[in-house]
Amino acid sequence: MANFDLNDDGVFVIVGSGAGGGTLGNELAQKGIKVVILEAGDRVEIQDFVNDEWESFKQLAWKDMRTTSGTWRIAKDFPNLPAWTVKAVGGTTVHWAGASLRFHDFEWKTRSVYGAIQGANLLDWPITPEEMAPWYDKAEDKMGVTGTHGIPRLPGNNNFKVLQAGALKIGYKEVHTGNMAINSQPRDGRGSCQQLGFCFQGCKTGAKWSTLYTEIPKGEATGNLEVRPNSMVVKIEHDDSGKVTGVVYADTENKGTLKRQKARVVAVAGNSVESPRLLLNSASSKFPDGLANSSGQVGRNYMRHTTGSVFGVFDKPVNMFKGTVMAGIIRDESGNNPSRGFVGGYEMETISLGLPFSAAFLEPGGWGREFASRLDDYTRLAGMWIIGEDMPQESNRVTLNTNVKDEYGLPVANVHYDDHPNDAAMREHGYRQGSAVYDAVGATRIIGVPPYPSTHNVGTNRMSANPRDGVVNRWGQTHDIKNLFVSDGSQFTTGAGCNPTLTIVALAMRQADYIAHQMGQKNI
Amino acid sequence: MREIDRRTQIGRRVLLRGAATAIPAAALASAGMGISAQAIWAQSAKNLNPHTMATLVLVARDIYPHDQIADSYYVKAVQPYDEKVATDSKLREMIEQGVARLDADAQNHFKTPYIEVLSQQGRLTILQGETLVPFFNKLRSDLVVALYNQPDLWRRFGYLGSSFEYGGYINRGFNDIDWLPKV
């Protein structure tokens, strides 16, 4: 395993070890580039994971102070937990559900397809679907996505069977157990899914792809990758010419001692709340509005998907907690069909919660007999998650809250979000269709559940052809500073109506190719 | 697939409380109602007085009323307060003042302390009093974890908790649903 010197200014520094950072780190290491990944969280391995919702939350979740504003319901229900992401090696790939969907072609060019939508800051991606196709292929192969490359789909559990029966009954056609980065058979040195039902708590069998036990150890095995956990980057530094020279990070295992790691190139991959926060907190006299922010777009266009859940209560048992959480999908609503009253599409995916999280999330703030009766019905619940494209809005943004400081004296992130009317219309449609699915198979009661803290956070350092419109170019390279990259979901120009991880991984692989070429040419 | 009724048998005590309006308080107290300052768990509190403990338990049940769940789970959910107030004077103040307010309002409306108000509807009216909002919100948000995160209680609801040590559900019924209509 590599061990690089703090003063080694030849290393490529990546901030974050999740889908973007972990993948990029391995890909670069495989190409012979020396990489240091600085990860804010601890290294929690498979054997440490616990099948216990709150214990696991304590172990893995990003719980650092954040604030919220705006009219979204999260600001009321979870004012200091706008996002549910992971602070540990592997980042959010540790707790993700595994759903690995490609964007539809139209989702790369929504400004052209949807037209101008009032209040939305739509923009076409500077990448074409044709260009992305081979990278999606590579990413699916890397992650072992079911339903692709001849990999069989997962078997359907009870929760899926309810979804499927209802969906087919009301005429939906594309219903299956999804494209999941969860082994349905042994692959890549990892075993197959044992239907534990704890995908969100870290997969204890390792059947689900996570950079923690795929990309990262593979990268480390090359001798070119060093991962430093408990290393919270607080600032990116630059020289007089404006080139990035390294990062300052707090060694949190060592009383937060500040250290400086020099770097040839820096890539930011701390998820869409922390990545813009870091760029903004790195403001200097040369870049008073923060790094890479000449467009003023850093932190803006925060997207979190239009989400909501529908749970059906039945008169007989479902036991939704048994088995893979999100292996079930209805895709029929994922196209763009403005006659529904909104642009963009959404997926309906199975979801299940254990009893503790059902109590916390089925009706945040709820109490009394009505609330209690939902939990009394726990074994007879079936659940789905609605996840659709939300509109990018300039005013939905991550800013620095200078009134609230973290332990290093730095302003925490404030996450502001208002639903766009398109988002609200889509959610309502999703609730209606979801209810119809469960009604069709005899639900005695329907529970419409508001959004959970955001698990899909994208868009705050968006990609644009024109430097005026966004933060990074088509390679995730910042428009302003050529040796500074963004490698996570924050580079998304628009959010598409599907789970983002596959696209983050595909973009990271593509970016690694570009970076290796540019470094070879000594352009960076 | 057979559905097993996991509920505890409905005891006399619960029936009494359900039909309580007709029964005088004194008779109920002598009938040995579970939630009482005389209970061992209330008497053994170190920092909060037994009456406060008993009131908290009843409030917990009023916030998350599950007839299938024994009082002991609610007791367990509020017991941590007895420890915490030893070092948290603000919390102690909030709890003691909250209970005092509940009792004062109950006296006003029903001429008894909160714990002896027999109608649940009556108690809920008091519980939702405007001056009690911070106390109520604190209890509600603490209890949503303190009550529902008790592994002993999960089985009552049919939730089986950790599955890894049993090999997951791949051979234990992940797809055993048998009542769905054929499509």
Q: What is the per-residue pLDDT across B54-98, written as a single tens digit (0 to 9) for each?
A: 999 999 999 999 999 999 999 999 999 999 999 999 999 999 999
Position A1 scores a pLDDT of 76
Q: Do B169 and A50 touch (CB under 8 A)?
A: no
For residue range A44-70, what is the model confidence (pLDDT) as tens digits? 999 999 999 999 999 999 999 999 999
Say how far apart CA A165 and CA B97 lie, in whole Å. 54
Q: What predicted TM-score, i.e. pTM, was given to this entire model?
A: 0.94
Position A28 scores a pLDDT of 98
Closest CB to B159 among A196, A355, A367 = A355
Preferred mutation among B152, B175, B176, B182 to probe A, highest tally of A CBs within 10 A: B175
Closest CB to B180 among A52, A193, A441 = A441
Q: Are A25 and A219 in contact (CB under 8 A)?
A: yes
| A190 bridge partner residues | A187
Instruction: Please give the structure tokens belonging to residue A450.
Output: 């508001």
Question: How would you classify the pairing of strands A397-405 and A381-388?
Answer: unpaired
The pair phi, psi for residue A228, each rounded to 5°, is: -110, 105
Confidence of residue B34 (pLDDT cuts 50, 70, 90): confident
For residue range A362-379, what is the model confidence (pLDDT) as tens digits? 999 999 999 999 999 999
Q: Do A317 and B158 touch (CB under 8 A)?
A: yes
Sheet-wide strand order for A231-238: A231-238, A244-251, A257-262
- How many alpha carbons fall within 13 Å on the CB side of residue A75? 13
Strands annotated E in A135-264:
175-176, 225-228, 231-238, 244-251, 257-262
Minimum distance, in Å, between the CA of residue A247 and any CA atom of chain B: 39
For residue range A301-316, what is the model confidence (pLDDT) as tens digits? 999 999 999 999 999 9
Preferred mutation among B126, B133, B148, B165 to probe A, highest tally of A CBs within 10 A: B148
Position B3 scores a pLDDT of 56
Say how far apart CA A246 and CA A413 lie, in whole Å. 22
Chain B residues within 8 A of A164 when measuring between CB atoms: 183
| Residue A442: closest CA among A155, A177, A170 | A170
Confidence of residue B182 (pLDDT cuts 50, 70, 90): confident
Closest CB to B180 among A162, A322, A375 = A162
pLDDT at B24 over 70: no
Terminal C-alpha separation, chain B? 19
Q: Are A107 and A494 in contact (CB under 8 A)?
A: yes
Nearest CA in chain A to B68: A376
Burial string for A425-462 (b: 16+ CB within 10 Å, else e) reads bbbebbbebbbbbbebbbbeebbbbbbbbbbbbbbbbb
Burial string for A300-325 (b: 16+ CB within 10 Å, else e) reads bbbbbbbbbbbbbbbeebbbbbbbbb
Residues 6+ apart with CB under 8 A from A131: none
Q: Do A161 and B175 touch (CB under 8 A)?
A: yes
Position B23 scores a pLDDT of 44
Position B33 scores a pLDDT of 56
For residue range B130-143, what is the model confidence (pLDDT) as tens digits? 999 999 999 999 99
Say how far apart CA A278 and CA A153 lie, in whole Å. 39
For residue range B141-178, what is the model confidence (pLDDT) as tens digits? 999 999 999 999 999 999 999 999 999 999 999 999 99
The rounded Cα A361 to chain-centroid distance in angstroms is 19
Closest CB to A51 among B162, B172, B176 = B162
B119 at interface of A, judged by CB pairs closer than 8 A: no
Nearest CA in chain B to A52: B162
pLDDT at B10 over 70: no
Say how far apart CA A499 and CA A347 lie, in whole Å. 9
Question: How would you classify the pairing of strands A265-268 and A12-15?
Answer: parallel
B170 at interface of A, judged by CB pairs closer than 8 A: yes
Residue A478 DSSP symbol:
B
The amino acid sitting at A182 is I
Instruction: Please give the structure tokens belonging to residue A169.
Output: 């009954």
Position A395 scores a pLDDT of 98
Nearest CA in chain A to B153: A355
| 3-state secondary structure (DSSP) of residue A414 | strand
| 3-state secondary structure (DSSP) of residue A403 | strand
Say how far apart CA A491 and CA A217 lie, in whole Å. 26
pLDDT at B21 over 60: no
Minimum distance, in Å, between the CA of residue A178 and any CA atom of chain B: 16
The amino acid sitting at A142 is K
pLDDT at B14 over 70: no
The amino acid sitting at A80 is N
Position A166 scores a pLDDT of 98
Q: Are B42 and B103 in contact (CB under 8 A)?
A: no
B180 at interface of A, judged by CB pairs closer than 8 A: yes
Q: Do B161 and A354 touch (CB under 8 A)?
A: yes
With a cut of 50, list the residues of chain A below it in pLDDT.
none
Position B26 scores a pLDDT of 43
| A42 bridge partner residues | A88
Position B19 scores a pLDDT of 43
| Residue A36: closest CA among A275, A277, A231, A236 | A231
* CA torsion angle A208 A210 A215 A218 (round to 10): -60
Say how far apart CA A76 and CA A139 lie, in whole Å. 37
Q: Do B140 and A52 touch (CB under 8 A)?
A: no
Say how far apart CA B168 and CA A51 lie, in whole Å. 10
* CA torsion angle A489 A493 A499 A500 (round to 10): -30
Tell me the count of A-B CB pairs closer than 8 A.
126
For residue range B100-121, what is the model confidence (pLDDT) as tens digits? 999 999 999 999 999 999 999 9
